[in-house]
Amino acid sequence: MTGNQTPNSIGLNTPARRIAIFSDIHGNYHALDAVLKAIDDEKVDMIVCCGDVVGYGARPNECVNAIRDRKIPVIAGNHDHACLLLTDISNFNEIAKAAVIWTKDVLSEENVAFLRQMPLTIRDTANDVFFVHASPKDPGEWNYILTMGEARTNFNYFNERICFIGHSHQPFIIENENGNLMCPSRPEIDLKDNRRYLVNVGSVGQPRDHNPDACFVILDLEKQKLEIKRLKYNLAGAQQAIIDAGLPRELAERLAHGV
Ligand code: ZN
């Protein structure tokens, strides 16, 4: 269930050469700060965030402020909506629930207003790219895309050449050539004219693919390349902030294991 005041989609229409995409910051400002600095070195024209700016980590306001200050187009994730009481959290585990309640209480009024106006999808016409947090099929239902069958279905729910998602915190690239789906294991691919792509950009602030490094993606439309990047950041700082905030200890521990 989503609130009426939340817009469904916004449009972008500025051609870009290089785009950085990231998702699932989850209040981990230590990771976000490192990723934004790395992206500055990448000389991109545009940055997009696929949602879940808050929830789990100890610095939600700093994360929202950074996104606002840089005017980064950002879509809503389920934890963003949970912290606004716009989605049901009965299926969240106890730790996630505790983090949502803590985050809801510390978010500034301006940041609540900002989170509330984030759309569920972004359609970028100039660059032929679509962005959604969980799945193009049901943007507000927060379903995971975990199998090739689910990926195949979801290719029918966007018209653009590339769709970027987050949500599972596990990065992947799925290529679709006339209904033939391939999932390359290498992190960098050359884009082909006759293929479409579904890309999970992983997580900045809470990776869950057994690699604790922050994750983001660079799409180079000039060179027709796409790369999943990993980055070490001040993980101990993020863990200490979680403990200092009185959030569940498990949230600090899991960061070190990438789970
Ligand atoms: Zn998430």
Give 32-63 pLDDT, tens digit per residue: 999 999 999 999 999 999 999 999 999 999 99
Long-range contacts of 172-180, Cβ-Cβ distance < 8 Å, separation of 24 or more: 172/199, 172/200, 173/197, 173/198, 173/199, 173/200, 173/226, 173/228, 174/148, 174/198, 174/199, 176/152, 179/152
**Taking all residues of the chain, what is their mean pLDDT, rounded to a whole number?**
95
Residue 34 included in any domain: yes
Q: What is the 14 CA–ligand 1 centroid distance (Å)? A: 28
Residue 235 included in any domain: yes
CATH of the domain at 60: 3.60.21.10
- Location of structure tokens 């599972």: 168
Q: What is the 16 CA–ligand 1 centroid distance (Å)? A: 27
Residue 1 included in any domain: no
Give the global pTM: 0.96
Question: What is the per-residue pLDDT for 67?
Answer: 98
Give 68-91 pLDDT, tens digit per residue: 999 999 999 999 999 999 988 888
Measured distance CA(205)–CA(235) in Å, rounded: 9
Give the tokens for residue 204: 């900045």
Q: How far is CA 162 from the centre of its chain?
A: 15
Question: What is the per-residue pLDDT for 3?
Answer: 43
196: confidence class by pLDDT, cuts 50, 70, 90: very high
Q: What is the 108 CA–ligand 1 centroid distance (Å)? A: 21
Domain carrying residue 175: 9-255
Residue 111 included in any domain: yes
Q: What is the 53 CA–ligand 1 centroid distance (Å)? A: 8
Q: What is the 167 CA–ligand 1 centroid distance (Å)? A: 5
Question: What is the per-residue pLDDT for 91?
Answer: 87
Total structural domains in the chain? Answer: 1
Residue 27 included in any domain: yes
Residue 70 included in any domain: yes
Residue 67 included in any domain: yes
Residue 248 included in any domain: yes
